[in-house]
Amino acid sequence: MSAYSDQNGAKGNGYINGNGHPEDLKIAIIGQSNFAAEVLEVLLEHHHTVVGVFTIADKGSREDILATTARQLGIPVFKISAWRRKGVPIPEVLEKYQSVGANLNVLPFCSQFIPMEVIDGAKFGSVCYHPSILPRHRGASAISWTLIDGDNTAGFSIFWADDGLDTGPILLQRQCPVFSDDTLDSLYKRFLYPEGITAMVEAVDMIADGTAPKITQTEIGASYDPALFREENQFINLNQPAEKIFNFIRGLDSVPGALAVIIGDDGSETSVRLHGASLCGPAVLDNAKPVTIKGATGPAFVDREGVFITGSDGQLVKVKRLKKGSKMIQASQWFSQAGKKIVPLDLNEREVEMEGILKGIWRAILKVEIEAETDFFACGAGSMDVVRLIEEVKDALEIPLENENLFMAPSFMEFLNEVISRTRNGVSQESSGPDYESVILRENKKTISVPVQMFVNGQFIDAENKKTLDIINPTNEQLICKVAAASALDVDYAIRCAHEAFKGVWSQVSARERGQLMYNLANLMEQHKEELATIESIDSGAVYTLALKTHVGMSIDAWRYYAGWTDKIEGSTIPVNPAKPNNVLTFTKREPIGVCGLITPWNYPLMMLSWKMAACIAAGNTVVIKPAQVCPLTALKFAELTVKAGFPPGVINVVTGSGSVTGQAISEHPLVRKLGFTGSTPIGKKIMAACAESNIKKCSMELGGKSPLIIFADCDLDKAVRLGMSSVFFNKGENCIAAGRLFVEDKIHDEFVRKVVKNIKTMTIGDPLNRGTAHGPQNHKAHMDKLVEYCENGVREGAKLVYGGKRVPNMKGWFFEPTVFTNVQDHMFIAKEESFGPIMVISKFHSSDFDALVQRANSTEYGLASGVFTKDIRKAMLFADKVEAGTVFVNTYNKTDVAAPFGGFKQSGFGKDLGKEALNEYLKTKCVTIEY
């Protein structure tokens, strides 16, 4: 006879058989689902004996996972359609149960009514898992009601079954907090499922040891809640405060979904299920369309964030997804998708073969003939069938898919269209990226799909009114594509999404997890580096080999470098003077700023994005970036990779458009707390003014340059010529730290010029995708025209044009000749102003007056970079001490590294990119003082 613990949990004597020895448990598992299957597996790991498994009957030809698992483990399986008939146990079913000789019943997840003849038929009783802290929420929908009632605490109970509804004595209970963003699904996955399995096995261990208590349930606080598997109980009451509406929706998310009825303009009624709800503040209604929801007392409307429902208290609930029938759609697309008809694609020969393969997989799972309109879920498929379908399609066709792809396209025709569209867009065997409208580039022996829409909240979307910009290939002057031109309203939406992500999902990602996402992204960029370099060449005119090494290579380096910093951002403790006799602890915390706006230039589209964004993301911020108007394509391809890397929606957003509209909107937005800009000094001044006038947002500026390069006669002349040319002509002169003015000592001046001109004549100018090309086209026509004007100005003021100075003749594309000016005097325009092109400006000096030379080098309002070539270390160090520039190169040039800070002085801006110092641009310091 067994001895249990008393109601206070005092230990009993264990199970003793008639011979005085402990009696082994013989367990019957009664239930279903993955939860029950895992309980079975863990019980066996704990060396318990399971003598039989009783589960539900097959649905068509598909059996429950508990049956599959038990059969694989060699345990007898009994599939029971019903245990009772007219309230009386079915004899043959009862006989099957008795045949296994179980002395303990374990019910980990059981949806069937089990007769008391079975519950009491085991010598040591029956234990059940229930997903609430009993006695609250007795009944079949306990998890849902925990959320619907707004409980702050959730949990589960394992109790001894009796003849009541979840009223038996408690064996053990566990609880957890309910978070504001919890749903039925998240609560189950986070706590109730994993901890429940552990606790079920712990309960059986306690029973085996004779330590399991039987604590009588109190009736204080007991509740019996309606069963939500009945459809009539799933309809949402919209005549209540927003928080109650929100709680009801999340209580039924993701299964089965709260029911509502949308009334069309013609009076028709459409039942939909609501998913992905959140409470939100006031919404911008500029482009919202009203929608009528039956029973709603306040207005409801649809905009690009979703469906907004007004509660009786005037507050809003946002719903992101709607389910119509078995198809899930984005709530924001209700008006465009609700009545949308499926149009079959025209398939080529290979795609017809793929259709046959897909039909075979569907047929094997559903056991029915597959037609275009066959609905996967209407045929009775369950969650395990979804997993099986997706995995088999991925294996058979090598196409990346997620379960959600099937939910969004549940009919065979829709699913076929989804799969075919993915193959046509060139999606490879990585995690599935977002859908987008694209341009297909067939260059460099590659076929590359590039998004042409802006990227906001994890999706590619059109700009307001579908406005676009023309993107021109600088090599052949032909239109590549049209990309979205974001309006101020588009920017507002992107920033609000970034703000929501910063306050929500991104704040829950740990520093180390953030670093792993960045490593994932860097690895994807590495895998796609040839595609990215090809896009960079076509879009910006960068020479492919340079794009591969620098534009893309240094971008990858930046993401990896800052990925390593994420979990090393630390505050400090500070010894302060306490007021006696108390003690004081003062420490600092380094915190992210929030939403950061980034505006990047056209000379290094991907690299400038990565220099700024990697530090920004490492610090824990969210981002809205506007790439250069004329070459945004690598930024958009990069956005696709961020989804594949696993970044949550809203963390990284790319808004394409003009500086005057899109850039200005970012600068002025009050939710942007930091702005990073690289570009010209005049535009930088305007942006600083906007930052100050809007909300005094923090900003960092990397602006114009007129970097001096001093070449002394005692240098290694050949090296000085080679690197001097690189200092000017690198990346077609479109280089922020380009040597804007060379000072060459008179003793070597003529020889230096002669060698430079000789080497220029050997440079190959042409298609940047050709591996032998050394000099590609200028980025865009307006810039090339500016270079022509710049050279005309130099000649007009009396400088000597030694070579170049004009557009390359008889060549399509914006190719400008590498140019050399000598006899440049300090007062001339070309001595003061930046060309940002392949124009070498040379002035002569005599070495007798070092201080005067440095003064000439500093006689500019710019102070980005500088350089000196000499074998005299004293001269080099004196120059480094006295020059007014953020970077000094000695016997080298253009040698930047992601670990070394980069930024200028004077009107070249302030703040740093790269290195540890760049993190400071995207962090704020909080001081905390505690008296004790």
Question: Annotated active-site positions, please?
Answer: 130, 702, 736
Structure tokens of 830? 């070309």
Residue 330: which of 504, 422, 460, 236 has the closest Cα? 460
- The answer to whether the Cα torsion of 456, 460, 465, 466 is positive or negative is positive
d(CA 712, CA 645): 50
- Grouping H, G, I as helix, E, B as strand and the rest as coil, residue 709 is strand
- Grouping H, G, I as helix, E, B as strand and the rest as coil, residue 932 is coil
Residue 197's alpha-carbon distances to 37, 162, 170, 255, in angstroms, are 10, 22, 17, 21
d(CA 359, CA 330): 27
* Burial class, 497, CB count within 10 angstroms (exposed 0-12 / middle 13-18 / buried 19+): buried
Residues ≥6 apart with Cβ < 8 Å to 92: none
Residues ≥6 apart with Cβ < 8 Å to 505: 648, 649, 650, 651
Residue 358: which of 368, 370, 349, 367 has the closest Cα? 370
Residue 93: which of 137, 30, 43 has the closest Cα? 30
Task: Please provide the DSSP assignment of 507-542 as one string.
Answer: GGS-HHHHHHHHHHHHHHHHHTHHHHHHHHHHHH--
Residues ≥6 apart with Cβ < 8 Å to 580: none
**Secondary structure string (H, E, C) spanning 190-223:** HHHHHHHHHHHHHHHHHHHHCCCCCECCCCCCCC
d(CA 856, CA 882): 12
DSSP 660: I
Residue 28: which of 84, 82, 92, 94 has the closest Cα? 94
d(CA 149, CA 155): 14
Strand (E) or helix (H) holding 664 = helix 664-668
Strand (E) or helix (H) holding 364 = helix 349-366
Strands 909-910 and 698-702: antiparallel
Residue 459 near residue 649, CB atoms below 8 Å: yes
Residue 535: which of 484, 471, 454, 624 has the closest Cα? 471
Residue 485 near residue 611, CB atoms below 8 Å: no
Residue 532: which of 554, 558, 563 has the closest Cα? 554
Strand (E) or helix (H) holding 302 = strand 300-303
> Angle 873-882/850-858 helices, nearest 10 degrees?
40
d(CA 448, CA 117): 67
Residue 753 near residue 720, CB atoms below 8 Å: no
